[in-house]
Amino acid sequence: MQYELKCIGVLTSGGDAPGMNAAVRAVTRAAIYNGIKVKAIYRGYKGLITGEIKEFQTQDVSNIIQQGGTILKSARCSEFKTKEGRALAYETIQREGIDALVVIGGDGTFTGARAFAQEFNMPIIGIPGTIDNDLWGTDSTVGYDTALNTIMECIDKIRDTATSHERLFFVEVMGRDAGFLALNSAIASGSEAAIIPEKETSVAQLDELISNGFRKSKNSSIVIVAEGGGGAQAMADRIHQQYPDYDIRVSILGHLQRGGSPTAYDRILASRMGVAAIEALLDEQRSIMIGVVNDEIVHVPFSKAIKDDKQVNLEKVNVLQILSI
Ligand code: F6P
């Protein structure tokens, strides 16, 4: 081994995601199990710069597997995007005697990790924690399944009122530039359509919807709009102009999609990934994200996880279309 692995640092960064706590627990316990000290870093990279750090024992992660959010807090840190900020973070690393890092977050987190690892020859392993599921090389990210189920439950409720009032709803869901949450929640909730950034332009998708006709035999319609797919309000305004008789409503689900207790799937995924992260460090791996493909753990270089485009399965668009007649 090129370095001695006596102490690791763990942090959560970027948008929080259900299951991050399960990942922190797994990283902490797997490290201690292997005789490695754990330093918990608060508020993501910000805490690395300011030195908000506490040594964790196994009991510090008791009773958190079921909690949403992150006990370590999270932040989007602009200072860490600068060389100066990263140099300050490295001073903390040296002062605290941290030999390697496990970072839990999304593409912004891994972009920062990659730069930091290159500049300071720092061993870093990533665990994908984001509701967006937009990281290449893993079938699922921690938090995605929970958010998907939360959205599905919300749409089920919206369906009740939409049916009662015979309304057309545009429901906007998160996902940044990706349509995984939108497309899959649309299928799971029996929605009539999804407007996603991966297909043609949102205007073209809307035109297609209009030409297919919204209502037909139905007494309610729900269209899911990915936040990166044009905005539900804009869609609704356009339809209202064309069909002034339609009774239209818009619902933007917002941050409730990020909260809540993680599903069993996310807890298990986070637990496996946490253990795999420590095993990867013991195996002298660095600058990789832990992924899962066909239920097997894989190692994905940060460069690929961030840069390669993860595609939504467009066959699902077909499924949605067929089933919404
Ligand atoms: O990346 C997770 C996510 O929830 C995205 O879906 C969304 O675009 C973004 O974060 C919202 O970020 P914030 O909470 O900083 O407004």
Give the number of the atom of ligand 1 that is nearest the alpha carbon of residue 175: 6
Instruction: Give distance in angstroms: CA of 169 to centre of ligand 1.
Output: 23
Q: What is the mean pLDDT of residues 29-40?
A: 98
Domain ranges of the chain: 7-143+262-307, 145-258
Q: 145-258 — its CATH code? A: 3.40.50.460
Nearest CA to ligand 1 atom 1: 15
Write out pLDDT tens, residues 173-217.
999 999 999 999 999 999 999 999 998 877 788 778 777 766 555
Whether the pLDDT of residue 134 is over 90: the answer is yes
> Which of 109, 135, 174, 196 to mutate to test ligand 1, by most ligand atoms within 8 A of the CB atom?
174
Pocket of ligand 1 (CB under 6 A): 15, 106, 130-132, 174-176, 227, 258
Tell me the catalytic residues.
132
- Quote the pLDDT of residue 260: 98
Q: 7-143+262-307 — its CATH code? A: 3.40.50.450
Q: What is the mean pLDDT of residues 308-320?
A: 92
Q: What is the CA radius of gyration of the chain?
A: 22
Do the domains 7-143+262-307 and 145-258 sit in the same CATH topology, yes or no?
yes
Whether the pLDDT of residue 290 is over 60: the answer is yes
Alpha-carbon distance 218 to 173, whole Å? Answer: 23
Say what the pTM is.
0.96
Q: Which pair of tokens denotes residue 34?
A: 């292997």
Nearest CA to ligand 1 atom 13: 15
Whether the pLDDT of residue 128 is over 90: the answer is yes
N-to-C CA span, the chain? 60
Compare 299 and 229 and report the one with higher pLDDT: 299
Write out pLDDT tens, residues 60-99.
999 999 999 999 999 999 999 999 999 999 999 999 999 9
Average pLDDT score, the chain: 94
Please say whether the beta carbons of 178 and 207 come within 8 A. no
CB neighbour list of residue 278: distance below 8 Å, 6 or more residues apart? 8, 27, 30, 31, 34, 36, 102
pLDDT tier, 324 (very low <50, low <70, confident <90, very high otherwise): confident
Instruction: Give distance in angstroms: CA of 46 to centre of ligand 1.
Output: 18
Write out pLDDT tens, residues 254-278.
999 999 999 999 999 999 999 999 9
Instruction: Give distance in angstroms: CA of 176 to centre of ligand 1.
Output: 7
Write out pLDDT tens, residues 274-286.
999 999 999 999 9
Instruction: Give distance in angstroms: CA of 277 to centre of ligand 1.
Output: 25
Nearest CA to ligand 1 atom 12: 15
Whether the pLDDT of residue 38 is over 70: the answer is yes
